Amino acid sequence: MKNAKKYMYIFIAYILLIVVLYAVDANRYAQKTYYEQKEMTTNFGAITKEINVIEEFQCKEDISSIDLVFGTYNKKNTNNVIVQVKEDLSSNETLVSKTFNMKNIKDNVPYRVDISLENIKDKKLYLIITTDTMDEGNTITLWHGKKKSKDSKLFINSDEIDGELKFSLNKKQKKGIRW
């Protein structure tokens, strides 16, 4: 009988521990993809500092991160990638600018760029990707598909091309118990 009571208390303590740990986790956020261009048929070739890949898109939600698929030519490149988001291409004002080293990029695997853009629903934005190198042998490329959504345009520098950049937009979503 004493053992049954002891096990009952242990069981209750275990359940309480699970509830507490789950509640603590409730204040954390997960990334949820709300837009993804899945087609990946063509790459742009070597992207140097003289080449800007620009995706114009209509934003449907706040953005917490962007996933981009880079090609590395199966090399460990050592220069930097520059990712910017702007509301107006002719302005010097940038909403977000991130620079990161190419050595962290894996070939043809989505690379997450954490950003935080809020209150941008229904705005037209420009995603601009370039590098800081002129060395075509030490740089990356990006993938795009031939399909195009009605709310997007793809450019190399200022020249519009058919298709859409291989990318996805993510938003924060609270996870765990919602009290």
pLDDT on residue 179: 45
Domains, the chain, ordered by start: 30-173 (2.60.120.820)
The per-residue pLDDT for range 138-152, each reduced to its tens digit, is 999 999 988 877 888
Local confidence band at 27 (pLDDT 50, 70, 90 cut-offs): low
The percentage of the chain sitting over the pLDDT mark of 90, rounded to a whole number, equals: 55
Mean of all residue pLDDT scores within the chain: 87
Kindly provide the b/e burial profile for residues 31-42, where b requires at least 16 CB atoms within 10 angstroms of the residue's own CB: beeebebeeeeb
pLDDT confidence bin for 155, thresholds 50/70/90: very high
Residue identified by tokens 């345009």 is 153
Q: What's the predicted TM-score (pTM) here? A: 0.79
